[in-house]
Structure 1
């Protein structure tokens, strides 16, 4: 149970590190939305649990998620959280370990009579040295237009 918004990110990381997709989904309301780094959009807790359970038991089975900077903005019964995360230990399709990467997870939380739950999440990869993506022949590549 999340009593304070600042408890949310540590609980998310703990569920990830426990490889528990159900515990991770339990941080969300039943009809929550979660958009991952490649734009897959899960629209309820069951889908969030299923997707994360699969990932945490396979290509994220040896991963390590560490939170960095966290910014929380509370607006009455709603809180917006931005959390920089460092992910290492992801397995590549060939079974080798991929390089570490940084993401920013954004969460919208709502407080009910007892606690806070996430109603939405968005995960965005940080691409150093880029300011946008360019689509060419159906493939995205990071681009920087600055001189």
Structure 2
């Protein structure tokens, strides 16, 4: 599968609420780090965990995935970054959510996938607007 085919299949599977189809894009021994930092190991676990969220907190949600960049890291391995927008109609996660994903793909299968939710620096810094205006590289302790 090409990168664009993988993205299209993942989008289709999510929007159908189909955990097995979502996981079909992963290698049998793949690792998936979800947006809350849990590590899911193996295609069967990835399928089961996604089916749980498709049936509950993300029921009837709609996902859009966009390729940001893709580059080879060896002859048959790609490093891919995507961004996503998730629309959740109801429940505790209702609203619009944004994330960035890092994928390592070999021979058309995902070996590793890391999902990171996006938030503003002001939210990340507990609404400290002065700190939120700075780049994290500019953060430093002032009480030392």
Q: Same fold (TM over 0.5)?
A: yes
Matched, 1:121 2:113: yes
TM-score (norm 1): 0.79
- Structure 1 distance, partners of 2:32, 2:90, is 22
- Structure 2 distance, partners of 1:122, 1:39, is 9
| Partner SS state of residue 37, structure 1 | coil
Q: Of the two, which has the highest radius of gyration?
A: 2
Displacement after TM superposition at 1:90 (Å): 5.1
TM-score (norm 2): 0.80
Displacement after TM superposition at 1:70 (Å): 2.6
Structure 2 gap ranges (5+)? 136-144
Alignment of 1:1-147 (within 5 A): 2=1, 4-75=2-73, 76-89=75-88, 91-93=90-92, 98-111=94-107, 116-130=108-122, 133=124, 144=132, 146=134
Moved over 6 A (4+): none
